[in-house]
Amino acid sequence: MIKGMTGFGSAEISSGSTKGIVEVKSVNHRYLDVGYFLPPGFMLLEDKIRKRVKKSVLRGRISIVMKITKKEVATVLFNKKVVQTYLKQEKSLKKEFGLSGNLSLGGLIRLPGVVDVQETNVNASALWPAVDKAIKIALGSLVKMRKREGASIIKDVKSQLSRMSLQINKIRSREKQVLTQQKKRMDAEEFFSYQNSIDVNEEISRLAHHIVEFRLLLKSDAAVGKKLDFIAQEMQREANTIGSKMQDKIVSNAVISIKSKIEKLREQAQNIE
C-alpha cells in the first residue's frame, strides 16, 4: 500500500546515566533529503543515521532532532590559589582602610575564578547503539503515520478515478450520438472525413489504460509518487487531445471535468512517497 510523506515519531534515548530524546519529522519532497539537528560532537553519527533512515523511508524531507536531557554530573573544581589571593587581598584592604567583616563561603563562591565547572562530554560513538534503537522506534511511528495518510489518499484518488471513468463513458456515448446525427446530414465522403477527424477512440483507450495503471500502483509498497505524477501528465495530454478533436459542448464539459480531476491526482501524487 502506498504511503504519504507527512509523519512524526519520537523515542527516548537511554544508556546508563545518559538520557535523551530523538524526534523524526517528515514532509513532502521530491527526493530523500535528511536534515540533522544534533548535540555538539554528534556530527560523526550523521552517516549512520542516514543509513538507518533509508531502510524505512525512500522519499521526503526528513528532520532528525536529538537532545541530551541528562548526563553524568559535571565536575566542580575550587581554585584554592585564587581563594588564597582573595583572602590575602581582603586582609590587606582591611588593614589599610580599617575595614571590618569577613568574606563568607557564599561570597567567595560567587567571585570570578573561584569555581570551575567542567561539563561532562557524552561519547557519541559509545551512545550510538542507544541512539540507533531510539531512531528505529521513532521511524516506526513515523511510517505508521505515513501509511495512515496513504490510506486517506487512496480513498480520495479512487474517487477521482471513478468519476473520471464516468466522464470517459459520457464522451464515448456522445461520440456515437454525434456520428449518428452527422451521418444523416452528410454524404458518404464527407462523413468518412468527419468521422476520422473526431475519432477519439485511441485517446479514450489510453486514458482508460492510465486509470488502470494508476489503480495498480496504489497497491504498491514501493515509492511510486513520481510514477503517478508522470501518468497524470499523460492523462492530461490525452484529455487535451480529446478536447481539441471533438468541438462539442457536452464533450467539452466532460473534458473540463476530467482535467479537473487529473489536477487533483497530480496534487495527491506530490503527497505520495
Q: If you average pLDDT over residues 27-38, what whole number do you get?
A: 95
Please provide residue 73's backbone torsions phi and psi, each rounded to the nearest 5 degrees.
Answer: -60, 135
Give the confidence band of 118 by pLDDT, cuts at 50, 70, 90.
low
In the numeric block, which cell numbers belong to residue 116?
570551575
Per-residue pLDDT of 234-243, as tens digits, reads: 999 999 999 9
Say which CATH architecture domain 7-72+122-145 belongs to.
Answer: 2-Layer Sandwich (3.30)
Please provide residue 241's backbone torsions phi and psi, each rounded to the nearest 5 degrees.
Answer: -65, -40
All CATH 3.30.230.10 domain ranges of the chain, comma separated, are: 7-72+122-145
CA 143 – CA 231 distance, rounded (Å): 25
CA 236 – CA 210 distance, rounded (Å): 11
Give the confidence band of 98 by pLDDT, cuts at 50, 70, 90.
confident
Per-residue pLDDT of 171-221, as tens digits, reads: 999 999 999 998 888 888 898 998 999 999 999 999 999 999 999 999 998
Place of cell 535528511: 34
Residue 34 bridge partners (DSSP): 62
Considering only CA atoms, which of 174, 144, 169, 188 is closest in space to residue 6?
144
Instruction: Give percent of the chain with pLDDT exceeding 70.
Output: 98
Q: How many residues does the chain have?
A: 273
Query: What's at 108, amino acid-wise?
Result: L
CA 18 – CA 72 distance, rounded (Å): 7
Please spell the DSSP secondary structure of 129-149, one letter per residue: HHHHHHHHHHHHHHHHHHHHH
